[in-house]
Structure 1
Amino acid sequence: MASILKDIWNRLSGGGSTGEREEPAAEAVEYKGFRIRPAPYSAKGGYQTAGVIEKDFDTGMKEHRFVRAETHPSKDDAASFAIAKGKQIIDEQGDRVFR
């Protein structure tokens, strides 16, 4: 379990398990003053739902990384779902997501 979490963290923080960096799935999407950057990665024959929510504050930019259990057959499907999940997180938590 620890190695799975470490692999997820490495992928989200820019390091891949193979040392190669994947191309971004899609451009960031603006939503209610936040930016949602989909960041799906290859996992178990599909693509894992993952992304980053960002917002600029007077003190600088803050970000919240998220990974969900859902996998998708294509990177584009996973990116679209990550955007939908990011919007849901923003709607439910707003700025509290950065605490």
Structure 2
Amino acid sequence: MGFFSKLFGGGKPVEAKTTEPVEYKGFLIYQESIAENGQYRIAGRITKEIEGELKEHRFIRSDVVGNEADANDLMLKKAQMFIDQMGDSIF
């Protein structure tokens, strides 16, 4: 039964983390790395209010690193570079 519980999402509930956003050039960057097999995948979202509507861009990178802090730091740098290159056209 343990195998099927893991396979279909049973077992311990996963606690959702609340992350404080980092403001960068009017955008809010949320660092939300994903734990995966003892490593952390670089992931997060970028939001910005445009004409009264909250726009959001989520991304998950193929990069994985050994700890959560490094994954979040790298995510922040990649998000800032993405904002510098794309601006509002992200959305």
TM-score by length of 1: 0.73
Partner of 2:72: 79
Give the % identical residues: 35
1:78-97 residue CA offsets vs partner (Å, 9 max, x unmatched): 01111111101101111011
* Mapped pair 1:90 → 2:45: no
CA drift at 1:23: 2.2
Any residues of structure 2 matched to 1:1-99 within 5 Å, and which?
A: 19-24=13-18, 26-98=19-91
Name the amino acid aligned to 1:59. Answer: G
Structure 1: tracts of 5 or more residues without a match = 1-17
TM-score by length of 2: 0.79
CA drift at 1:27: 2.1
- Once residues 23 and 59 of structure 1 are traced to their aligned partners in structure 2, the CA distance between those partners, rounded to angstroms, is 27
- Once residues 80 and 66 of structure 1 are traced to their aligned partners in structure 2, the CA distance between those partners, rounded to angstroms, is 15
After TM superposition, which residue ranges in structure 1, 4 or more long, deviate above 3 angstroms? none
Name the amino acid aligned to 1:76. Answer: A
Larger radius of gyration: 2
